[in-house]
Amino acid sequence: MILELSDGGSAVARGAAAVVLSLHVAAGMVGVSYGMVALFVTKGSRLHRRAGNGFLLAMLVMAGIGAVVSPFLPIANWGNVVAGVFTCYLVVTSWMTVRRREAGSGRFEVGALCVAFGITLGDVLLGLQAAASPMSAPDGTPVPAYFIFAAAGALATIGDLRLVVRGGITGNARIARHLWRMCLALFIACASFFLGQQQVFPASLRGSSLLLLPEFAVLGAMLYWLALVPLARWSRRRAAPPSGI
């Protein structure tokens, strides 16, 4: 998400906007840092849990600011609103997935399902509007971006629906749900910071392909960990003694 400051308005308004922008960027930096730690340290360790909690709080601040402020920019960016809500949804549902000690679902999961469906529908409608007329997306958001987010939202919606219908989630499916949601939120944070806030980097790095490395690192790590989930299950099955022995 990108926040922009307007030259118009009072000095107080510009000062407040600068503070909000600084908090947004700072939360993004902290979130990316915590997320990278959580992604690469031993899963389930104390450091992993602490980094995950820090990532959750930082992402809520960063994405929350982006979602709330974007409609009031000189050019309202409703795509950022949906992306901000989606990011908050991802980190909260991922965190709740591992917070539940036992399989189960309740009002939170039903509410999360409604949010996921609303996010998907919002991105589809925004994408169709932008595709119908280039003038309908003056914020400059690429049309494919809406449908990419809609696809991710649809995947999340299907996952929430299955969880609610089954009454919970356990085992490897629970781990995979936690992983991909946290990793996708981290990917969004990296893209928002390294690509969307390039003004905080030295001029020599702005527009550089080096700023794409964190995003590729997150995607690679996500695929690595998700691949380990079924492999670990297969290994446990191979190691288990045959029934009846």
Q: What is the pLDDT of residues 106-139, one digit of tens each?
A: 899 999 999 999 999 999 999 998 888 755 555 6
Give the number of domains in the chain.
Answer: 1
Q: Which residues have a Cβ under 8 Å from the Cβ of 54 and sit 6 or more positions away?
A: 30, 31, 34
Q: How far apart are CA 180 and CA 157, in angstroms?
A: 14
135 located within any domain:
yes
| Per-residue b or e along 198-234, where b marks 16 or more CB atoms closer than 10 Å to that residue's CB | beeeeeeeeeeeebeebbebbeebbeebbebbeeeee
28 located within any domain:
yes
**Domain extent at residue 118:** 11-198+207-229
Residue 3 has what pLDDT?
Answer: 46
244 located within any domain:
no
Q: Residue 56's closest CA among 80, 81, 87, 26? A: 87
Residue 225 has what pLDDT?
Answer: 82
In angstroms, how far is CA 97 from the centroid of its own chain?
A: 15
Residue 84 has what pLDDT?
Answer: 92
Query: pLDDT digit of tens for each residue in the chain (245 aa)?
Result: 444 545 555 676 667 777 888 888 889 889 999 999 998 888 888 999 999 999 999 999 999 998 988 887 767 688 889 999 999 999 999 999 988 766 678 899 999 999 999 999 999 999 998 888 755 555 667 888 899 999 999 999 999 999 999 888 888 888 889 999 999 999 998 988 888 777 777 888 888 888 889 899 999 988 888 887 765 554 555 544 544 43
Indicate the Cα dihedral angle 197, 75, 6, 188, nearest 10°.
Answer: -20
Residue 228 has what pLDDT?
Answer: 79
2 located within any domain:
no
Query: Under a CB-based contact definition with an 8 Å cutoff, are residues 160 and 112 in contact?
Result: yes
Could you read off the pLDDT of 169-201 as tens digits, one per residue?
888 888 889 999 999 999 998 988 888 777 777
